[in-house]
Amino acid sequence: MDLDPKFYIKMELIALLSKGEGSWAQVSGLMKFGEWDKIVLVGNEFAKNFTHEKKFEFVKIDLDNKLVDLKEDLSKKLKEKFNGLEVALSIASGDGKEHMALVSALISIPVGIRFCALTKEGIVYL
């Protein structure tokens, strides 16, 4: 039987704020409807303009960096951010290079990843 994590543990959410029409709304909805121990948002200088009613920590990165440099920067900046062994990850925003760098950085910390998304039925973990 696969239990929904929201019934037995609060998760820490990490989400990428990059480009993609409507993707910031996805992140905002996840933040609003989820019960999170901590929220970490990753984005560039422009993404610092993102606001939300819930408290979050912002990690600024240069999304124009090459893939390996982006992954190394993310690894350094995210290394001490999480308390648990697993995080809920939203990559609804961004492109493949950004997704690969973020996933690779999280794995190298190391921390487990549970992808999450907001649907009409609520938050789902994939």
Q: What is the pLDDT of residues 47-104, one digit of tens each?
A: 999 999 999 999 999 999 999 999 999 999 999 999 989 999 999 888 999 999 999 9
CATH number of the domain enclosing 93 = 3.40.50.10770
Residue 76, domain extent: 5-125
Nearest to 89 by CA among 6, 2, 13, 8: 13
pTM to 2 decimals? 0.89
Q: What is the average per-residue pLDDT within 36-51?
A: 94
Count of the separate structural domains present in the chain:
1
Distance CA 83, CA 38 (A): 9
Per-residue pLDDT of 10-34, as tens digits, reads 799 999 999 866 789 999 999 999 9
